Structure 1
């Protein structure tokens, strides 16, 4: 994972749950089959209600109709991001859509661990309410090592909490890849 991440932000509200990130009807796809795995990206965030999408009238999809990738690589969330069921498909769906990092005030712990364990995307936390500072479409830059997020569109910079021991696991591609590269597992 790069130490500096730059991309367009997609802003969501509070209490975005895993059923909104990837609704149950799309769980029939098999993530171990590449041709099917891409559909998780296609349907990422389709269950988010328009009122929580940060968009006027909810008239913009996270992933365009018929596409597998989003133009938004950074998701800005509010409080309790990833609440709901423990499905690991939620961070997988975001990653398949092209999301590199999610920045939220705080996460449901199971969503946070699924991001880390699967090596899907960086789950960064902030002390500030960024959903009121950043707008969907703003260009943002995250300095992971420096612990900051800069809204390039406005010029404002915000501190982020350190990732600590989670970053090497994500960098390795998940907990199993990390365990193998660290000599904890054979093969």
Structure 2
């Protein structure tokens, strides 16, 4: 897709230069390079925020990044405590970026935010999401033995909106996530 954006940017610069020559603008050479850069930046931003979701671009094979953003709610099953805790995962996504945030609404002792994330299509329309995260505690409400830590989650997102998988962290804790995508509001 980047090469397509670059090609379109060059074409825009060529057309702009031709139009400037036609109206006898004598500094058209000065406009060409900035036109390529500006066109590429604007096209990239448009694809990054809006166009990457378009089905026709996907049908042409120009974009194949799965759309998984949204809010998922369900349960986190801790193997350490044996408890099932209500959990909410929010995924914010553009064509080039993704952020995953996990909150435990009832516990409210910490929140986890992704540092890096990867999406891989697997099986029949399922998507594997692997991300590393930084968990930051809320000192006023966290247990005495709890501290900031890093971790990793490996989950599968099904087309129907089910998110299931496992997590583990630097504190030696691990567990499972079982969540469903909330309907868009």
TM-score normalised by the shorter chain: which range applies? under 0.3
Give the number of the structure whose alpha-carbon radius of gyration is greater: 2
**Larger RCO (CA under 8 A, 6+ residues apart):** 1
Question: With structure 2 as the length reference, what TM-score do the two structures score?
Answer: 0.20
Question: With structure 1 as the length reference, what TM-score do the two structures score?
Answer: 0.20
